[in-house]
Amino acid sequence: MDETWGISGPQFLAWYGIALALVLAVQVVWPRVARTRAVEHTGELPDVYHLAYLAGGPERVADTAIAALVDRGLLRVNSEGLVTAAGKHPWHKIERSVHEGAKGAKGGTTRSLRAKAARSKAMSDLEAEMQRAGLLTSGSEARPFHTTILLAFLVLLAIGAVRFVTGASHGRPVGWLFLLLVVALVLTVVASVVRGRKRVGITPRGQGALTHARFSSRTQGAVRPALLLAGAAGAVALGGLAMYPDDELSAALIPPFQPFAGSGGGSSSGGSSCSTSSSCSSGSSCSGGSSCSSGSSCSSGSSCGGGGCGG
């Protein structure tokens, strides 16, 4: 039999492609299946910030702290969305890091407070505590799985390379095999990058705790609702700043959407903010109806007439 390895070229290509597809499917699907297999968790979460992290990560933790501090009068929010510290230092480490970030005459925005809180030692301590409790992964738990996937791709890459060299030396057509080898190489590189990435994620136990807390918030279950689910902090922990009980404060706290800024020089259209150059006076309006408050500015090079910003 003069076929390489006793397998015809088309047969080898078919089995090789199937093997690559199977390993790729396992790499993509299995982590998602593992995350959805949440174990039942009926115990109590330590506090509202553990719940907030499970529901929305570090940003949700910062939002929850902002809500709690505003609710207690330790943060003040003006109509422009600037948050300033007031009163004494809170005792909770997360709240203290957010309170510190809002100090100063100008304070900070929700976006800046989120960024500072995410980099704080208090947030690192919270993540480490949740990892010890089995609510979050540290990234090392998934390493054996990703190592196995990487080894599988390396084996397939090696087999394909040997087949390519053998077939080419015997004058066999190897064009399609070359394309599959490129695919195998790309998948191997991706698997190597994924394996080296350290990512914090929710464990099945953490997902179960979050599901239980959400169910308890609707049924008034026994997961310390007075601590976790009562008040502004609990509402924000589960649903974000949009769930803050005061609509006016909620609107002031939610960071504005910032679309991609296109080429400059054009006039401001309805709903958009004016870019920096000449200042609008208080009460004047941009074209299309968006108002320029005192201190905001018109599009570059344009002047503020009686009708507002624009051409």
Least confident range from 80-84, 102-106, 124-128, 223-227: namely: 223-227
Q: For residue 54, is pLDDT > 60?
A: yes
Sequential DSSP letters for 109-170: -HHHHHHHHHTSHHHHHHHHHHHHTTSB--SSTTHHHHHHHHHHHHHHHHHHHHHHHHHHHT
User: What percentage of residues in the chain have a pLDDT greater than 70?
Assistant: 70
What does the domain layout of the chain look like in residue ranges?
A: 4-36+140-196, 48-137+203-253, 267-311
**Interatomic CA distance for residues 200 and 224, integer angstroms:** 26
Q: For residue 284, is pLDDT > 50?
A: no
Average pLDDT over residues 47-71: 92
Structure tokens at 170: 């015997």
Least confident range from 28-32, 82-86, 305-309: namely: 305-309
Q: For residue 38, is pLDDT > 50?
A: no
Q: What count of residues does the chain have?
A: 311
Residue 276 is predicted with a pLDDT of 36
Average pLDDT over residues 196-213: 77
Query: Cβ(153)–Cβ(183) under 8 Å?
Result: no
Query: Cβ(84)–Cβ(102) under 8 Å?
Result: yes
Category of 107 on φ-ψ map: left (φ > 0), alpha (ψ -120 to 50) or beta: left
Average pLDDT over residues 111-126: 92
